[in-house]
Amino acid sequence: MCASREDVSLGSLLDEMTNRDARAEYPSPYFTCRQFSSYDRATKTPNEKSWFANWDRSMFIRTDTIDGKKEYVMMDTDGPGAIVRFWMTFGGENTGKGILRIYFDNQAVPAIEGNPFDILSRGKLVGAPLSTSVSDSTEFAMRGHNLYLPLPYAKHCKIVYQSDYIKDAGAKTGGEAVYYNIDYRTYEKGTTVATYSARELEKYKDILKVTQDKLQKRTIFMSPDTKKTDLHGIVKAGESIQTTLSEHSSAVRLLTFKLKSSNLEQALRSSILELSFDGKPTVKCPIGDFFGAGYRVRFTNTYYTKVSNDTVFSCSWVMPFKKACTVKIENRGAQDLEITNGEIVTAPYNWDNNTMYFSAAWRQYTHLATGEMKSQEGDGDPFDMHYINLKGKGVYMGDGICIFNTVYAWWGEGDEKVYVDNENFPSFIGTGSEDYYGYAWCRPEKFSNHPFIAQPDGSGNFVPGYSVNIRYRGLDGIPFASAFRFDMEMWHWTRAIINFSHVNYWYIKPEDAIDSPSYLREATEPVALKREDIVSPVLTNNKIEAENLILESKTGGDFYYNNNVHKGWSGNVQLAWDDSKPSDTLTLSFISKEEKTADVIVSYSKGKRHGHYKIAFNGGEAVSVDASNPTPLLSKLKIKNVQLVRGKNILKITSLPSGGKDMSYVGIDCIEFN
């Protein structure tokens, strides 16, 4: 196909970026979207352990030597094409001090050259939000750096990084560690592309200004023929409310709901939003997850969804239909849901052969066992979770995840793996789930105002709690001509149980549209608001694992769970308290269903770094422990006549002066009550 009349330029790409209607059209001229990244090159064959290789840094295509200086090649591909997303972060020593160069069309001189931070996030090319780092409340060196300015090229693109601080591939012997993800389009032959240059940037400065303004303001185009339809009322448990819009060649432009319930968290998960276009229910999703909030109200303001602190949820995906659209909210929960303000905004849409239906699907893995827990007795092998598997023609437009973490550690380290049109090896392999969502280093700080990425809540990233990540796609949407599959690794260093849900968004040609493949049974599961909603702190058969105790408070030190299949710990995990100072206290609790007097056996570990401390139950007499030992071993402490109460019981550990420096480690395995 000759597409010369449909020229691609910086200007056209900027226009496309904010053209919401363009998202709903199968691309013409057609292009593929692929990724270059620093993923561990040991990742080669599924079903082999190396498939989950995780040394995703300082891996390059090759190393070129130019005028005696090494240039590490990150991307090298033929056009016509365009870079549509560029993410980087750095680790190790002397980070980010090198020179990033972007060469177009085999030119000897780079069109873009400079410090990578300046180019990607400090505004050397363009200001925010197309150039930004997240979160702005995170230490700069720990941020993800994102450039969304499109960089088109007619013939060829090569990106290199020159640094004197990279020691070897993977930075395995130290030095600078470079992480990167570069998403790029390749257009079909015959497409004419105007290559990026400083002159092109100046030429389209007015369009750039308009684009930046639209992205910042989240502008929604409304035609004079806009129609508003109300949908509000009380939806009783087990019932639903709906409306059908019968309009020829129209599109939903805006959905807005203000919600109220006695248990809003559960209602956001158990109330199902269903959207049907011309009789095809392509969207079935818990209403909170659909709008990018999960099941808690967390402020976010992206180009496609917005959640306000006063429980107003809105989305501005363009959703075309030929004849009719039905909007339905089904209450599968146990309490009533009140829609105090519901509005559906529609406007005429120029339907043609490229127009697609909007789709969304949701799934939760309840009490998902990760890390060593997957096999209960294995070595902690990671595994792939299958987000979505589609057939036909369409464009993948993004996803969000909602998790509740139960460990005092990062909850996952998965790389995305995206297969387009039945390819044998994924054309997208990333460098970590937080990198995929635009930030870096598992950081918990919130960011909610970028048009395409958000972490409305990251409080569960390092400690038990709740986290939400969102990545919507604009120019980096992924077209597929026959099939699409998205996998996400679940990779964890420690034994953990989490609730993990994902929502996925895509457009699909009408002839390939299917009912939304959601797994909605899990939507009626009680949502987790605290750790004990997933990990039970109740005495069972007169025993409790120490990692099931509830952390009430600590005055110092680090608290976490230590996982090791070789130590002989019950369940391969022990509770750990480290780096405390004398007189620091750790207060824990557990639940007993009965009141009784019992002899207690505390299984604990000894070792070189283990310290002195004392243990007391329910304010009773404290018993001293000397856990120091030249070699590691397990030991037992017996405490007689401990008084247990029905309900909450308290275990208090107090750190005592130890015999040497760095001797403060406390390791508790399990506790028995006889």
Q: How far is CA 513 from the centre of its chain?
A: 26
- HSE-CB of 564 using CA atoms within 13 angstroms: 11
Position 6 scores a pLDDT of 58
CA triple 50-56-62, angle to 5 deg: 100
- Checking phi first, is residue 523 left (phi over 0); if not, alpha (psi -120 to 50) or beta? alpha
Once rounded to an integer, what is the mean pLDDT over residues 428-453?
97
pLDDT beyond 80 at 493: no
What is the CA 323 to chain-centroid distance, rounded? 36
pLDDT tens track for 563-606:
888 899 998 899 999 999 999 999 999 999 999 999 999 999 99
At residue 287, φ and ψ (nearest 5 deg) are -65, -35
φ and ψ of 484, to 5 deg: -150, 135
Instruction: Tell me: pLDDT of 103 over 90.
Output: yes
Asked if pLDDT for residue 352 goes beyond 60, the answer is yes
Residue range 443-456: average pLDDT?
97
- Alpha helices, H only, 459-582: none
As to burial, measured by CB atoms within 10 angstroms (0-12 exposed, 13-18 middle, 19+ buried), residue 222 is exposed
DSSP label at residue 527? P
The answer to whether the beta carbons of residues 208 and 14 sit under 8 Å apart is: yes
Please report the pLDDT score of residue 378 as a whole number: 44
Cis preceding-peptide flag for 129 (omega within 30 of 0): yes
Residue 4 has pLDDT above 90, yes or no: no
Average pLDDT over every residue of 75-104: 96
* DSSP-derived 3-state class of residue 426: coil
Token digits of residue 74: 């990150």
Question: Model confidence at 393, in pLDDT bands (50, 70, 90)?
Answer: very high
- pLDDT reported for residue 394: 98
| Residues 216, 128: Cα–Cα separation, whole Å | 9
Is the confidence at residue 209, as pLDDT, over 80?
yes
Instruction: Calculate the average pLDDT of the chain.
Output: 94
pLDDT at position 491 is: 81
Q: How far apart are CA 471 and CA 438, in angstroms?
A: 8
Angle at CA of residue 92, ends 90 and 94, nearest 5°: 80
Least confident of 127-131, 219-223, 340-344, 616-620: 219-223
380: confidence class by pLDDT, cuts 50, 70, 90: low
Evaluate if residue 5 carries a pLDDT over 70.
no
- Spatial separation of the C-alpha atoms in residues 423 and 427, rounded to whole Å: 8
pLDDT for res 411: 85
What is the full DSSP assignment across 329-371?
A: EEE-SSS-EEEEEEEEEEEE----TTB-EEEEEEEEEEEEEEG
Count CB-CB contacts under 10 A for residue 136.
13
Domains, the chain, with CATH or none: 1-217 (2.60.120.1390), 227-354 (2.60.120.1390), 543-673 (2.60.120.260)
Average pLDDT over residues 227-242: 97
Between the two ends of the chain, the Cα-to-Cα distance in Å is 80
HSE-up of 70 (CA within 13 Å, CB side)? 14
Q: Which band of pLDDT confidence, cut at 50, 70 and 90, is reported for residue 223? A: confident
Cα gap 315→292, rounded to integer Å: 9
- Enter the pTM of the model: 0.95
Closest CA to 2 of 29, 33, 32, 27: 29
Q: Is residue 661 over pLDDT 80?
A: no
Residue 649: name the closest of 573, 583, 598, 580 by CA: 598
Mean pLDDT over 124-150 rounds to 97
Please state the rounded mean pLDDT for residues 432-457.
97
